[in-house]
Amino acid sequence: MRNCLLCEQEFIPPVYFAQIFSLKKFRPTKICLYCLKQFEKLTDNRCTICSKNMENGLVCIDCKNWQSLYHGNVLRNHALYRYNAAFHDLMVAYKRRGDYVLREVLQELCFEYLKKIQFDYYVPVPTSPEHKKKRQFDTISAIYDDILTLTPLLGKKAGSHAQGEKNKEERLKTPQAFFIDKNVKVNENIRTGKILILDDIYTTGRTLYHARDCLQEGFPEAKIESFSICR
Ligand SMILES: [Zn+2]
Ligand SMILES: [Zn+2]
């Protein structure tokens, strides 16, 4: 028996067939089935570029805008869940209230998928210095650091406000606030390697495009994609 990290009810973690015969250490389940079901998986009807669920068509309106703004140089984003009320509540508790243990719930939601895809470098979107100081931890790195080997190449300038405090129009007008941290040692092969930028939520795409632009300027030949748990 174990207590669910979200509802605190006791539950029996499921045992999967593969688990019994595998010598590999499995991540223990942290939330009960009831809570897990509150998170809505994205269906297959999705934008081929950013993974947003759509009724029909191949490219969503947001990506069409990015396509014209960037002359076709769009950012392929992997995503798993729809940003619904359950996610909103989880993110408020995690980011605004700074409940560090909830990173384990987020890890549980994306761990299997990240194990399946293969990239050479995993670069988290950084938190601004002010927010990091307030919460005592970097919200994005904290999610992925236990699952992947991170290369924290990006820094965020002080004084740049978080996207969550803005409306859509303001978000899209946000100026570039990222820079490449020259203190981070990288292998020469990053120049032509595959980089996956990691974030929690893809809202307008503005943050991830800025992160991509910054990395592309530093490593013009690298192949860059992004991952967000929600779209
Ligand atoms: Zn629960
Ligand atoms: Zn799209």
Domain containing residue 141: CATH number = 3.40.50
Instruction: Work out the average pLDDT over 103-130.
Output: 93
pLDDT at 110: 95
pLDDT at 20: 58
Please give the C-alpha separations between residue 101 and each of 30, 108, 165, in angstroms, as whole numbers.
10, 12, 23
pLDDT at 121 over 70: yes
Ligand 2: distance of its center to the CA of 100 in Å? Answer: 31
Ligand 1: distance of its center to the CA of 35 in Å? Answer: 4
pLDDT at 123: 97
Asked if residue 162 is part of any domain, the answer here is yes
User: What does pLDDT average to over the chain?
Assistant: 90
Q: Which letter, b or e, does each residue of 171-192 get, where b requires 16 or more Cβ atoms within 10 Å of its Cβ?
A: bbebeebbebeeeeeeeeebee
DSSP one-letter string for the chain = -EE-TTT--EEPPP--HHHHH--SPPPPP-S-HHHHTTSPBP-S-B-TTT--B-SS-SS-HHHHHHHHHTTT----EEEEE---HHHHHHHIIIIIS--GGGHHHHHHHHHHHHHHS--SEEEEPPPPHHHHHHHSS-HHHHHHTTTS-B---EEE-TTPPPGGGS-HHHHHHPPP-EEE-TTS---GGGGGSEEEEEEEE-SSSHHHHHHHHHHHHH-TTSEEEEEEEE-
Instruction: Work out the average pLDDT over 156-178.
Output: 79
Ligand 1: distance of its center to the CA of 199 in Å? Answer: 24
Q: Which residues surround ligand 1, an ion (CB under 5 A)?
A: 4, 6-7, 32, 35
Asked if residue 72 is part of any domain, the answer here is yes
Asked if residue 88 is part of any domain, the answer here is yes
Counted residue by residue, the chain has a size of 231
Pick the ligand that lies closest to the CA of residue 13. Answer: 1
Pick the ligand that lies closest to the CA of residue 90. Answer: 1
Instruction: Work out the average pLDDT over 115-130.
Output: 92
Asked if residue 192 is part of any domain, the answer here is yes
Ligand 1: distance of its center to the CA of 36 in Å? Answer: 7
Ligand 1: distance of its center to the CA of 91 in Å? Answer: 16
Pick the ligand that lies closest to the CA of residue 51. Answer: 2
pLDDT at 167: 82
Domain that holds residue 119: 60-230
Torsion of Cα atoms, 123 then 128 then 133 then 135, to 10°: -70
**How far is residue 110's CA from residue 80's CA, in Å, rounded to a whole number?**
7
Q: Which residues surround ligand 2, an ion (CB under 5 A)?
A: 47, 49-50, 52, 60, 63
Asked if residue 52 is part of any domain, the answer here is no
More confident residue, 98 or 159: 98
Pick the ligand that lies closest to the CA of residue 86. Answer: 1
pLDDT at 148: 95
Asked if residue 47 is part of any domain, the answer here is no
Asked if residue 123 is part of any domain, the answer here is yes
Asked if residue 155 is part of any domain, the answer here is yes
Instruction: Work out the average pLDDT over 30-54.
Output: 95
Ligand 2: distance of its center to the CA of 109 in Å? Answer: 21
Q: How many domains does the chain have?
A: 1
